[in-house]
Amino acid sequence: MLGFQPPAIGEEEIAAVAETLRSGWLTTGPRAAELEGRMAEYLEAEHVLALASGTAALHLALVALGIGPGDEVITTPITWPATANVIVHTGATPVFVDVLEGDLNIDPALAAAAVTERTKAVLPVDLAGQPADLDPLLALGIPVVEDAAHAAESRYRGRKVGSIADVTCFSLYATKNIAAGEGGLISTNRDDVAQAVLDLRLMRRGDGSLYDIPVPGYKANLSDVLAAIALCQLDKVDRHTEIRHRQFAAYDEAVAELAGITPLARDDRDLHALHLYVVRVDAETAGATRDEYQRALAEENIATSIHFLPVHKLTYYRERFADQPPLPVAERAGDEVLSLPLSPAHSDDDIADVVAALRRVHERFAG
């Protein structure tokens, strides 16, 4: 089976972990601090804070902004459930609005129409590495918390993702472009948000016996062991981007010839992070449904994934927020999206194998 998104880990990461273990720093220490400093430079942001996960980053970002019971946060249904879950964790209500047909990112016009006196933030997602359309969201005058789990390398209209929104949250999960296995980052240019997150992530301020707690915080800090891996990945980010460019180009060339198989739109005004290669399978033209294509590719020993099923249709959200109106673009996309294998760990021959298998499956279904 050709894996969907295996991590691109080498001897450098193994050596960095061993060195960290020998240093005696297992929890947050000098490597986490180095990661924060280097990522602040990379993201062109005033502050970067390392956290235990991308989910923790999103959660603490909302808490730092004072969001809680009675508040509403506008977000997209085409995302991993964590994006909505953290809103619920604060006691606020997620308000799902539909997405754009081309890139499946949140529709700014619909987000604007959903604003009420209870709206305290907008939480867009940079799906697959394509930045959401941030300027009209920022123009609403409401804090924007950007879920950039897929978008560490992205630029929006020439500006680095991580330096634009009030708060931007990244993931260091095993499949991400900068991977540590687990972990997350918050970037912000707001001093008040940075200080709030510092107080929230580790449950104490001060050293040794002279500690205090200004707020009842969480345990959401990043260990030095994981930070050491992320630092090695940051060193490789340009090299890995070159590999992803080749993989995207190979897929673009292939699917252009396959009726009913269409990649998500990429805006040439922006820099796409090339995190996921997502296609939509139009069952009528492609001759079979997305699920049938996924099963057929598995029979060809090609692992794929789905990014994403609409969150508002998942059991908890469907039952808890039963008055959620239909979101037709997202719901149709949820039946069509399929992500093809993509990783710097894959060789060009691996991607050629995927293309050959996809062509065979398409020939079988579409004739």
Per-residue tokens: 276: 């996921």
Return the amino acid letter for 310.
P
CA dihedral 59→62→65→70, nearest 10 degrees, is -130
Degrees (nearest 5) of the Cα angle 83, 88, 91? 140
- Tokens 């630029």 belong to 155
Reduced to 3 states, what is the DSSP secondary structure of residue 241? helix
Rounded to 5 degrees, what are φ and ψ at 17? -65, -45
Reduced to 3 states, what is the DSSP secondary structure of residue 117? coil
CA distance 84 to 94: 6
CA distance 87 to 95: 10
Q: CB-based burial of residue 220 (10 Å sphere; 0-12 exposed, 13-18 middle, 19+ buried)?
A: buried
Candidates 256, 247, 265; CA nearest to 359 is 256
- Catalytic, 236? Answer no
* Ramachandran category for residue 196: left, alpha or beta (phi over 0 → left; psi -120 to 50 → alpha): alpha
**Contacts with 33 (C-beta within 8 Å, 6 or more apart), sequence order:** none
CA distance 56 to 249: 34
- Catalytic residue of the set 120, 160, 176, 236: 176
CA distance 268 to 205: 45
Degrees (nearest 5) of the Cα angle 178, 179, 181? 165
What are the catalytic residues? 176
